[in-house]
Structure 1
Amino acid sequence: MQVTPLIWIITLAVTVLFFVYEFFAHVRKPHEPSIGESARWSAFYIGLALLFGVGIGMVFGWNFGGEYFAGYLTEKALSIDNLFVFLIVMSGFAVPKKYQQKVLMIGIVIALILRGGFIAIGAGLIENFSWIFYIFGALLLFLAYKQAFGSHESNPADGKFMQLVRRVLPVTDEYHGDKLTVKKDGSRFFTPMMLTIIAIGFVDLIFAVDSIPAIYGLTNEAYIVFTANAFALMGLRQLFFLIGGLLERLVYLAQGLAVILAFIGVKLVFHALHVNELSFINGGQPLLWVPEIPIWFSLVFIAATIAVATVASLMKTRGDGDKNDRHTVKGGPVTATSEEDRETGSSSDDDMSPTVRAQK
C-alpha cells in the first residue's frame, strides 16, 4: 500500500479540521445535545467512515479495504468500552451534563494524540523487529483475560493516581462553569473539571495500550491503523449522548471484547510463527505450516462477536427488567414519595459539588 507524504498531510489536516469544527460548532457553547442532534451527527460520522473504507478498497484493493473495516469495527467497539469508563469518571466527579461535551471532546482529542504516538512507535517496531508480534500477541491474550474477568466497577476518579494528583495540585470542591482553574484569595486553584480531564487522559493512555496492538494484529499499514482509529473516535461524543443509558445495558460488552482481543492475539502469534526469526524457535526459520488467518474471516468473526454480545446484553437486561417489574407488581413498591415531597424535595444533583454528591 503506497501512501505518499501528501496523502498523509491531507489526512492529518482534514482530521484536525473536523475536530476544530466540532469544537466551535458544538462544544464551545455549553449545552446538552438533543437525541436528534446526536443521532444525525452519529449517522454522519459512521457513514463517512464507511465511505472512506469503500474508497480504500477501490483505490488500494479490497484486501486493504477489508483490513480497514475489521480495524474500524474493533476500534469502534473498544471506543464504546472507553465511553463506559468516561461515564464512570464523569459520574465520580459529578460533571454537570451541560459541561460533559467539553470533557468528552478533550478526552477524545487526547486519545487520538496518544494513539497517534503509539501508532508511530508500533510501525517502527514492526518494521525493524518481527519478533514484536510475539509480544503484541501475548499482551492481547493477557488483556483479553483482564477484559473478561476484570471489573468496571472501580472508579478511576478515586484511584491511586487521582489521589496523588489531589495531593499535588490545589483543588476546589465546586465547579466554576467550565473553567479549569479559578483564582481565590489571591491563589490559583484547579477545579474538578481539570481533575476530570486528567483522569480521562490517564484512562486514554491505558486504553491505547490494548487498542494499538489489537489493530496491528489486523493490518501492518500505519495509514489504515491511523484512519481506523480517527474515524472510530469521530462522532464518539455524539454517540455518548445518543446511546446514553444503553451503555449500562451492554453487560456482555467486556466479554465480547475479550473474545475479539483473544482472537487477534492468537492471530498475531500465528503470524509471528509464520515469519519467525528467533533462533530458539525452529532454529530461527519460519514455521510455514502455521496457518495465516485471512482478513475476510477476521472481519466476519469480529462483526459476529459484536452482534452476539450486543443482542445477548439487550436480551439479558430486558429479561432482568421484566423480572423486576413482576416482582414490584407482586410485592408492591419498596418506597413511595408523596407529591408534597417531590415539590419540596432536594435540589438537582447537577447543582451539587462533587463532595456533596459523594456524601449523598
Structure 2
Amino acid sequence: MDTSALIWWATIAGIVGLLAFDYVFHVRKAHVPTISEAAVWSAVYVGIAVLFGVGVLVLGGPAMGTEYFAGYLTEKALSVDNLFVFLVIMTSFRVPRADQQKVLLFGIVFSLIARTGFILVGAALINTFAWVFYLFGLALLITAGNILRPRDSENRSPDNVMVRFARALFRTSSFYDGDKLFTIRDGKRVMTPMLLVMVAIGGTDIMFALDSIPAIFGLTQNVYVVFTATAFSLLGLRQLYFLLDGLLDRLVYLSYGLAAILAFIGVKLILHALHENNVPFVNNGQRVAVIEISTGVSLVVIIGVLVVTVIGSLVSPKGRAVNLVSAARRHATEYLTCEIDPAVRADVFRRLLAEEAQLRRLPEKYRARIRAEEQLMALLRRAHEEHDAVVGPRP
C-alpha cells in the first residue's frame, strides 16, 4: 500500500494529539499515578496501537499488517528494557516520584524525535546502498552479545557526554524546585537536577535508537510501518513504567529474550543481504541462494520468545528474590533522599515494610545472600532509624 501525504499528516497529527492529551490531562499537574490509573491508560494505549494495526491489516493487506505487529512487539519489548535504565537514572538523580511523569514524557518525546531521524537516515541508506543490511545485521548481533553481558545497574552512573556538557555550560543546583527546569539560588539563575535528568535520558535515548531502528528495519522496509510501529510502542510507556514498577526487576530473563530476538533479526538481515548481494568481494557481487525468513515466521518467533522469557521470569524464585531486593533498595533510597511529602514518605515506608516481610519468607539460600550485602543492609537500617526518629519506633 502506497502511503499518501494525507495519511502521513493525519497519523502525525494523531500522535502529537495523544502526546498533548497525555501532558495536559496527566503530566502537567505533578502527582503519583495509582496502579488502577496506570493500568487503565496502559490498556487504552495498547488498544489504540492494536486498533491501528487492525486498520493497517485491513487497508494494507496481511503482509503489511504482519510487519506492523512484528515491529510493534519488538519495539515494545525493547522499550520495556529501556525502562530499566530510566529507573536507574531517576533513582541516581533522586527524582521525587510525583515529578517522574514529566521526565518520562520528555524521554518519550525525545525518543520519538531521535528515532524519526534515524528512520529517515536508515531508509535513505537502504534505498541507496544494499550492503547496509550487512551492517545492520552485524550491529544487531553485537548488540545481542552486549545485552548478555552482566550489567551492574546499581552502580551504573547516569552521567553521559550530554550531562557533563550541560554541567560545564550551566550553573547547576543540587536541589529540586518542584518540576521547574531552572530556579534562583543566591540571586542567580541555575539549572535544577530536573533538567539534568532530562538531558541524561535524552542522551541514553540516542543510544537506544541505534539498537531499535536496525531491529525494525530487519522486519520491514516500509517507512510508514517502521514509524508507526515505533511511535505506538513509545506511547503509553509512561503509564507502563508505573504499572510495572513492582515487576521491572522481576523480569530477570527479559534480557535473554531480547538478545535472542535481536540475534534472530540480525541473522534475518544478513540472509536478506546475501539474497540481495551486490558487494564485489562476496560471491563476486552475485546474489547468494539462501533461505529468507518471512515476516510471519519472525512474528511467531518474537511472540514465542517473549512469552517464554516473561513467564519464566515471573515463576522463577530467583526473579522473585531479585525483584524484592531491588524494590526494597529503591524504596529505602526514596524514603531517605527523594521524598519530602509526609504522605508519600509514609506510603513508601509501608511498601518497604511489606517487601522486607516478603524477603524474610524467602528460602534460606536467598536470605543468606541478602544478609551478606552490607550496603543494602546498612541502607535498610538507615531507613528504619530515620523513620523511628520521625514517628517513633513501632510497638
- TM-score clears 0.5: yes
CA distance in 1, matches of 2:210, 2:199: 17
**Structure 2 match to 1:283:** 284
- 1:24-73 Cα offsets, whole Å, 9 max, x none, are 01000000011111111101111111111111111111111111110000
CA distance in 1, matches of 2:9, 2:164: 40
**Structure 2 match to 1:257:** 258
| Alignment-mate amino acid for residue 129 of structure 2 | F
**Structure 2 match to 1:135:** 135
**Structure 1 match to 2:204:** 203
CA distance in 1, matches of 2:365, 2:11: 55
Cα offset, 1:325, TM superposition? 2.2
CA distance in 2, matches of 1:110, 1:245: 26
CA distance in 1, matches of 2:269, 2:366: 52
**Structure 1 match to 2:340:** none
CA distance in 2, matches of 1:330, 1:311: 24
**Structure 2 match to 1:237:** 238
Match among 327, 331, 349 for residue 364 of structure 2: 327
Asked if the contact 2:360–2:367 (Cα under 8 Å) also holds between the matched residues in 1, the reply is no
**Structure 1 match to 2:3:** 3
Q: Name the structure, 1 or 2, with higher relative contact order (CA <8 Å, separation 6+).
A: 1
CA distance in 2, matches of 1:160, 1:330: 39
Q: Bigger shift: 157-166 or 297-306? A: 157-166
Cα offset, 1:164, TM superposition? 4.7
Asked if the contact 2:110–2:202 (Cα under 8 Å) also holds between the matched residues in 1, the reply is yes
CA distance in 2, matches of 1:346, 1:301: 53
- 1:89-130 Cα offsets, whole Å, 9 max, x none, are 000000000000000000100000000100111111111111
Asked if the contact 1:180–1:191 (Cα under 8 Å) also holds between the matched residues in 2, the reply is yes
| Alignment-mate amino acid for residue 12 of structure 2 | L
Aligned sequence identity (%): 48
Q: Bigger shift: 246-255 or 261-270? A: 246-255
Structure 1 residues 147 and 346, CA, compared in 2 at 3 Å: closer, same or farther?
Answer: farther
**Structure 2 match to 1:194:** 195
Q: How does 1:15-164 map onto structure 2 within 5 Å?
A: 15-151=15-151, 153=153, 154-159=155-160, 162-164=163-165
Aligned length: 343
Cα offset, 1:285, TM superposition? 1.2
CA distance in 2, matches of 1:228, 1:139: 21
Cα offset, 1:342, TM superposition? 7.1
Cα offset, 1:327, TM superposition? 2.5
**Structure 2 match to 1:345:** 389
CA distance in 1, matches of 2:386, 2:195: 34
**Structure 1 match to 2:344:** none
Q: Give the gaps of 5 or more residues in structure 2.
A: 325-358, 372-376
CA distance in 2, matches of 1:123, 1:74: 19
**Structure 2 match to 1:272:** 273
Q: TM-score, normalised by structure 2?
A: 0.82
